[in-house]
């Protein structure tokens, strides 16, 4: 009898001292939280992840098995939601980055093409012996803007420069009909881009202009080709 009693006590002691196996729900919650972290929940779903972690802490701290089980299940649910949210947000962010990169490449190509067209216009103007120094300066500004990835600015400046280059390289009209309020300087600025070249017009029309300061609406003035 004593032997049986001793064996019984030994079994009780061994059962009490052995390691306790954690609830499966707690194990599942821990796994779910780890997977949520790997999906990026700490960055993209931090509030939901913290909620899952809080539930897990409470589940691990309670001595009531039923309560621990319920809390652990809540932790797993929140962790799964956090994982799903993180994956969705990451995918949306990836798409935004891709779209931004596409727009960036498109704007770069547009600015690059605008600069190339401006260069062509400058070459054409130079063949006409036109002064394009100001246009070249503007083109350099466009190139610098492009290098700094200010694509819209580069495109706008390049287009402005192209218009100036085309205007400089365009063939001059042979005649000009004077409008009300115009002077030789105003006409020279419009035609040659330099009001000080009014003398060219005056010399070419001495037979029509008695006083360089007085011209009349309706007069037809010959416009000499600027060789300077």
- Write down the pLDDT at residue 128: 66
Q: Where a domain ends, among 135, 153, 169?
A: 169
Q: Residue 62 CA to chain centroid, in angstroms?
A: 52
Task: Decide if pLDDT at 18 tops 50.
Answer: no
Assess whether 210 and 154 both reside in one domain.
Answer: no
Question: How many structural domains is the chain composed of?
Answer: 3
My answer on whether 101 and 164 are in the same domain is yes
Do 107 and 147 fall into the same domain? yes
> Are residue 132 and residue 193 in the same domain, yes or no?
no
Segment of 4-18, 83-97, 140-154, 163-177 carrying the highest mean pLDDT? 83-97
- The residues, any chain, with a CB within 8 Å of residue 209's CB and separated by 6 or more, are 184, 202, 215, 221
Does some domain include residue 165?
A: yes
Instruction: Please indicate, yes or no, whether residues 75 and 119 belong to a single structural domain of this protein.
Output: no
Distance CA 168, CA 215 (A): 26
State the Cα angle at 126 between 121 and 130, rounded to 5°: 105
138/196 same-domain check: no
**Domain shared by 148 and 212, yes or no:** no
228 pLDDT tier (thresholds 50, 70, 90): very low
pLDDT class for 8, splitting at 50, 70, 90?
very low
Residue 3 lies in a domain: no
Residues 71, 27: one domain? yes
Do 73 and 48 fall within a single domain? yes
CA distance 85 to 50: 13
pLDDT band for 9, please (50, 70, 90 cuts). very low
In a domain, 158, yes or no: yes
Q: Are residues 119 and 161 in the same domain?
A: yes
Tell me the pairing of strands 175-177 and 220-222: antiparallel
Domain extent for 39 = 21-90
Tell me: the pLDDT tens digits for 191-211?
A: 776 788 899 999 999 998 989
Assess if residue 8 is contained within a domain.
no
Does 67 lie in the same domain as 113? no
| Final residue of a structural domain among 49, 75, 90 | 90
pLDDT tens digits, residue range 39-73? 999 999 999 999 999 999 999 999 899 999 999 99
Could you tell me where the beta strands, DSSP code E, fall in 41-153?
A: none
**CA distances from residue 207 to 122, 123, 180, 210, 217 in whole angstroms, order as listed:** 36, 37, 21, 7, 16
Query: Which CATH number fits the domain that encloses residue 184?
Result: 3.10.350.10
More confident: 171 or 178: 178
Average pLDDT (70-99) is: 94
Q: Is residue 215 part of a domain?
A: yes
When pLDDT is averaged across residues 163-184 and rounded to a whole number, the result is 79
Sign (positive/negative) of CA torsion 102, 157, 114, 139? negative
Tell me if 75 sits within 8 A of 22, measured CB to CB. Answer: no
11 located within any domain = no
Q: Kindly indicate the confidence band of residue 33, based on its pLDDT and cuts at 50, 70 and 90.
A: very high
Within a domain: 1: no
Q: Do residues 159 and 188 share a domain?
A: no
* pLDDT of 175: 86
Among the candidates 150, 169, 188, a domain finishes at 169
Is 6 contained in some domain?
Answer: no
């Amino acid at each position: 009898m004593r032997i049986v009693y001793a064996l019984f006590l030994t079994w009780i002691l061994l059962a009490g001292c052995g390691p306790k196996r954690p609830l499966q729900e707690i194990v599942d919650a821990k796994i779910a939280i780890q997977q949520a972290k790997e999906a990026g929940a700490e960055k993209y779903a931090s509030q939901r992840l913290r909620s899952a972690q809080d539930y897990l802490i409470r589940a691990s701290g309670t001595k009531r098995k039923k309560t621990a089980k319920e809390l652990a299940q809540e932790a797993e649910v929140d962790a799964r939601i956090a994982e799903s949210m993180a994956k969705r947000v990451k995918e949306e962010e990836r798409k935004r980055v891709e779209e931004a990169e596409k727009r960036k490449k498109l704007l770069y190509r547009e600015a690059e093409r605008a600069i190339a067209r401006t260069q062509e216009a400058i070459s054409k103007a130079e063949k006409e012996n036109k002064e394009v120094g100001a246009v070249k300066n503007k083109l350099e500004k466009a190139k610098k803007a492009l290098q700094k990835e200010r694509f819209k600015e580069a495109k706008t400046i390049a287009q402005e420069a192209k218009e100036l280059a085309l205007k400089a390289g365009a063939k001059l009209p042979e005649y000009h009909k004077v409008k009300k309020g115009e002077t030789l300087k105003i006409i020279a600025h419009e035609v040659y881009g330099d009001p000080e070249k009014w003398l060219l017009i005056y010399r070419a029309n001495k037979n029509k202009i008695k006083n360089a300061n007085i011209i009349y609406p309706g007069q037809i003035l010959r416009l000499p080709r600027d060789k300077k």
